[in-house]
Amino acid sequence: MVSRTTAVQVRRVYQASPGPSVRVLVDRIWPRGMTKARANLDEWCKEIAPSTALRTWYGHDRGRFEEFASRYKAELTQEGRAAALGHLRDLAAGRTLTLLTATKQVDISAAAVLAEVLQEQS
Question: By residue range, what is the domain housing residue 76?
Answer: 7-120
116 lies in some domain = yes
31 lies in some domain = yes
Contact 110, 49 (CB under 8 A): yes
pLDDT of residue 95: 86
48 lies in some domain = yes
Regions of the chain where pLDDT drops below 70 = 1-6, 16-18, 122
51 lies in some domain = yes
2 lies in some domain = no
pLDDT of residue 3: 45
103 lies in some domain = yes
| pTM of the full structure | 0.89
> Per-residue pLDDT tens for 1-29?
344 545 899 999 998 666 788 999 999 99
111 lies in some domain = yes
pLDDT of residue 31: 95
Whole-angstrom distance, CA of residue 31 vs CA of residue 66: 25
Distances (CA, A) of 6 to 21, 26, 85, 97, 115: 10, 19, 16, 8, 12
| Domains identified in the chain, total number | 1
1 lies in some domain = no
